[in-house]
């Protein structure tokens, strides 16, 4: 039975991404049947060989920068928990997939699903979006985003299946969140107090949740927030992301960041943002 296994490849050694088990040297591993001590209990992270179908690759795809995807043949005893956790007693590594082949498999799987699995595996990096700044549009979106951001985490958590969100969140976090977060902080560290660092980072993380919500067009009603059916209440945050704009908030001032280094391109106080709405 063909499955996919995500592993680290370090100095020629194939290593499991979570437990750091060394399967062997890649050049000698292919075609060699492996037998594992197998735990048939309901405990998830225990003895056995873990592999998934294409819809489970996301669980560990972006865990390390040196992760590779292998085609494997599995057999023997099995314990299936969900699409992300499947345990077997026997396995044979067949080949390492090229990045293009991995994308092709994920795209084919995504086309069968009711949410955007492909983009969850390969999130859009806002730092690489190069479009001119539309100040008025950006301000309008920022006002809308400021009014809903407090609901985004609880709403997404309640609306998306836990195991799916855990994998999507981990993928986006590993792919773009950490680098965007650090770039944003680097751009403001000289002008804000270190004590508001958590607030700045939290505001960036809120936008990540909004972007992730765009991957689920199948959800027509988001829990915990009033909105029209079929309309994503966090669309303002999604639109900012797609314009390459990342908002940060230190408790008093909103900033919009843009570009590879997340430079500040717009700065406005909370009061002035509200005042513009009233005017």
Above 80 in pLDDT, residue 45? yes
Residue 174 Cα distances to 119, 217, 275, angstroms: 13, 23, 37
Query: In the chain, pLDDT over 70 holds for what percent of residues?
Result: 99
d(CA 162, CA 85): 14
- Of 21, 48, 27, 50, give the one whose Cα is nearest residue 96: 27
Q: For the chain, what's the residue count?
A: 279
Above 80 in pLDDT, residue 276? no
Strand ranges (E), 132-278: 246-249, 253-258, 263-269
Task: Calculate the dihedral angle through the C-alpha atoms of 47, 51, 56, 59, rounding to the nearest 10 degrees.
Answer: 50
Residue 64 Cα distances to 115, 170, 247, angstroms: 24, 11, 27
Which one-letter DSSP state was computed for residue 176?
I
Mean pLDDT of the chain: 93
d(CA 113, CA 204): 28
Residue 197 is predicted with a pLDDT of 86
233 vs 189 pLDDT, higher one: 233
Above 90 in pLDDT, residue 185? no
pLDDT digits (tens, 9 = 90+) for 54-93: 999 998 988 888 899 999 999 999 999 999 999 999 999 9
Residue 277 is predicted with a pLDDT of 47
Above 80 in pLDDT, residue 279? no
Query: Tokens standing for 189?
Result: 């560290």
pLDDT digits (tens, 9 = 90+) for 113-171: 999 999 999 999 999 999 999 999 999 999 999 999 999 999 999 999 988 988 898 88
């Amino acid at each position: 039975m063909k499955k996919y296994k995500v592993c680290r490849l370090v100095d020629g050694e194939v290593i499991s991404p979570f437990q750091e088990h060394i399967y062997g040297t890649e050049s000698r591993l292919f075609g060699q049947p492996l037998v594992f001590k197998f735990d048939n209990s309901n405990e998830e992270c225990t003895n056995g060989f873990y592999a998934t179908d294409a819809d489970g690759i996301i669980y560990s795809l972006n865990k390390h920068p040196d992760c590779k995807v292998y085609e494997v043949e599995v057999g023997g005893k099995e314990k299936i928990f969900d699409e992300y956790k499947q345990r077997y007693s026997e396995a044979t590594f067949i080949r390492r997939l090229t990045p293009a082949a991995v994308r092709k498999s994920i795209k084919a799987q995504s086309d069968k699903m009711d949410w955007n699995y492909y983009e969850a595996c390969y999130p859009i990096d806002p730092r690489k979006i190069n479009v001119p700044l539309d100040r008025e549009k950006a301000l309008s979106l920022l006002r809308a985003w400021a009014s809903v951001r407090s609901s985004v985490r609880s709403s997404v958590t309640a609306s998306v299946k836990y195991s799916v969100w855990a994998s999507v969140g981990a993928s986006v976090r590993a792919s773009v969140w950490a680098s965007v977060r650090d770039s944003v902080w680097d751009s403001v560290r000289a002008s804000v107090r270190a004590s508001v660092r958590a607030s700045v980072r939290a505001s960036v993380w809120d936008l990540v949740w909004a972007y992730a919500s765009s991957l689920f067009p199948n959800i027509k009603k988001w829990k915990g927030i009033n909105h029209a059916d079929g309309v994503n209440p966090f669309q303002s945050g999604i639109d900012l992301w797609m314009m390459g704009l990342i908002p940060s908030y230190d408790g008093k001032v909103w900033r919009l960041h843009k570009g590879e280094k997340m430079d500040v391109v717009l700065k406005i106080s909370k009061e002035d943002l509200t005042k513009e709405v009233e005017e």
